[in-house]
């Protein structure tokens, strides 16, 4: 941001238009993506805990549950159990 102000004050943006555009783009790019970092952190914790006995499918499921724990806290377990018990087929695909 300081470099952008410096170029504007010194009227160097006319002399270096490509640098001016590149700096304007760079200023608008977020520095970090916290949700991605959180996801990788959760995945690392899960993978460390159950590394030797886990298939890739199970790891993916546990990672999704851990990352989206706010959504999973809103699920009514009694309704889920009732829906599972009412089905004849015991294999239910949760998507």
Instruction: Report the candidate in 70, 94, 74, 73 with the shortest Cα–Cα distance to residue 84.
Output: 94
The pLDDT of 66-78, averaged and rounded, is 82
User: Each residue of 2-59: pLDDT tens digit?
Assistant: 766 776 666 666 777 787 778 777 777 766 666 777 778 887 877 776 666 667 787 7
Given its phi and psi angles, is residue 11 left (phi above 0), alpha (psi -120 to 50 degrees) or beta?
A: left
Any residues with CB less than 8 A from the CB of 3 and at least 6 apart, and which? 23
pLDDT of residue 11: 66
Q: Do 43 and 63 contact (CB within 8 A), yes or no?
A: yes
Instruction: Report the candidate in 33, 26, 34, 30 with the shortest Cα–Cα distance to residue 4.
Output: 26
């Amino acid at each position: 941001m300081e470099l952008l102000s410096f170029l504007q004050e010194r009227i160097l943006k006319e002399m270096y238009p490509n640098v001016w555009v590149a700096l304007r783009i760079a200023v608008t790019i977020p520095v970090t993506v916290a949700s991605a970092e959180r996801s990788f952190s959760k995945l690392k914790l899960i993978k460390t805990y159950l590394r030797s006995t886990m298939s890739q499918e199970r790891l993916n499921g546990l990672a999704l549950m851990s990352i989206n724990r706010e959504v999973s806290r809103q699920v009514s377990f009694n309704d889920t159990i009732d829906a599972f018990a009412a089905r004849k087929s015991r294999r239910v695909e949760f998507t």
